[in-house]
Amino acid sequence: MTDRSDTSSSSIQTEINARHTPTIREPFEEKAGLSLLDFLLLVAQQKRIIGLSTVLGVAIALVVALTTPSKYSAAALVIRETISETSSALTGGLAALSGLGINIGSGTTGLGEETYEDILKSNEVLLTIAKQPFFIAELNDTINLVGYYNPEPGIIGIILAGLKKITIGLPRTMIDLVQGKPDLPESLSTGQITYSFNEEEKNTVEVLSEVISAGVSRQSGIMTISVTTTDPLLSAQLASVAIKKLAERVREIYHENTKQDLEFVQERFSAAQAELNASEEALARFTDQNRDPQTANLLMEMERLQRQVDFKTQLYSELQAQLTQTEIDLQKNRPVLTVVEAPVPPLESSGPRRKVMVLAGLVFGFGAGLGLAFLGDMVKRHKADDEAEAKLKEIQVELIPAWVRNWLGISS
């Protein structure tokens, strides 16, 4: 009896102790997510890497921001006059001819909003701008943009160009020696402009296509021409010359189309004159042969010939008036662009935005540091896995230089 009671008392005591004994948990349980405390702990543990990456990012951004030259934008506002507005007389004459059942075109050249922008960025206009002399403040001299954007190379530049020619450029040089360079025309003719291209002029045209921009407001119809360079005075000069050259080129296109209209009207006028003469001669012969027509057939034939003469006479008169008006339009020198706001040298730079660049470097550097920190934490978590550890070490050896691994204390 004593043994049973002792055993029972022992069991009860063990159960009581088990109830009051705290549960012992594993020292580490892997969680699916990352809490805020875990994140802050990771940042604290890897503060060296994160700090170094952030400082490096800011330093690179500072160097880029300080070495990037300031840019200045000068803008001008102009009002475009479309060809349909400037040639209302021509359009009216064509409408009168359309009333006679004759269609000889709409009287417009298709110079719309986008066309003006395309003409400004065309090679013809940009090349004429490139050859225009400008005063360059940093040089204290007046030169054209071809010479400004393509300065003479120094001794080092000549040596580097020679080395390039006999190294990476050697295959091209050998091919040119064997095949010979094709004979290219020295000049190309398009419309009224004859221009030639060489390497320096091509480079200058490419630069101008980037620094000159244009846009048209859909509501007001006002065109904005903007130029951005490193020299405020040059930006204003370029904008002014761009307006002038654009107006000249549009006027040339207008005159070219007017010449084509003139040639066409002259051809139609000559044909109408010949047809009128033929109709009048036919009517005169019929009248001479039938001085007193009495039959219905003769009267009908006479009326038909008279209608032809009347129609040819009206057509001749309209074409004659149109020919005179077209000749007058050809002699006119219409302004196709009216300047609303002239370009002036800007007082403040339009870029680069150095504060934004430094802030971007800070964010990028901090983000890169966090990425490295998470990568390092992942490496530590997989240390227990021999196969994963071997792969991670191989990745470290392949991607991270030895001196960086030693500095960070990463064992190979």
Indicate left, alpha or beta for 135 from its phi (over 0: left) and psi (-120 to 50: alpha): beta
Give burial (CB, 10 Å; 0-12/13-18/19+) of 122. Answer: middle
- Check residues 99 and 403 and name the one with the higher pLDDT: 403
The mean pLDDT value for 205-234 works out to: 89
In a domain, 60, yes or no: no
In order, the DSSP letters of 357-408 are HHHHHHHHHHHHHHHHHHHHHHHHHTTT-HHHHHHHHHHHHHHS-HHHHHHH
In order, the DSSP letters of 76-129 are EEEEE--HHHHTHHHHHHHHHHHHTT-----S-----HHHHHHHHTSHHHHHHH
Give burial (CB, 10 Å; 0-12/13-18/19+) of 89. Answer: middle
Structural domain boundaries enclosing 127: 69-341
Whose tokens are 């050249």? That residue is: 109
Pull the structure tokens for residue 222. Answer: 């006002």
- pLDDT (0 to 100) of residue 23: 46
If one counts the domains in the chain, the total is: 1
Q: HSE, CB side, 13 Å, CA atoms: give it for residue 333.
A: 1
Percentage of residues in the chain having pLDDT higher than 70: 66
Percentage of residues in the chain having pLDDT higher than 90: 14
Neighbours of 147 (CB within 10 A): 17
In a domain, 373, yes or no: no
Average pLDDT, the chain: 75
In a domain, 92, yes or no: yes
Helix (H, G, I), strand (E, B) or coil at 352: coil
Lowest mean pLDDT of 173-177, 248-252, 340-344, 351-355, name the range.
173-177
- Report residue 228's pLDDT band, with 50, 70 and 90 as the boundaries: very high
Pull the structure tokens for residue 143. Answer: 């030169």
The mean pLDDT value for 339-347 works out to: 90
Q: Mind listing the pLDDT tens digit for each residue in 123-152? A: 889 999 999 999 988 888 899 998 888 877
In a domain, 173, yes or no: yes
In a domain, 62, yes or no: no
Lowest mean pLDDT of 55-59, 158-162, 298-302, 340-344, name the range.
158-162
Phi, psi at residue 182, to the nearest 5°? -70, 145
Question: Containing H/E element for 293?
Answer: none
In a domain, 356, yes or no: no
- pLDDT (0 to 100) of residue 31: 46
In a domain, 399, yes or no: no
- Check residues 255 and 105 and name the one with the higher pLDDT: 255
Give residue 164's identity as a one-letter amino acid code: K
pTM: 0.59
Pull the structure tokens for residue 278. Answer: 């033929």
- pLDDT (0 to 100) of residue 77: 92
In a domain, 28, yes or no: no
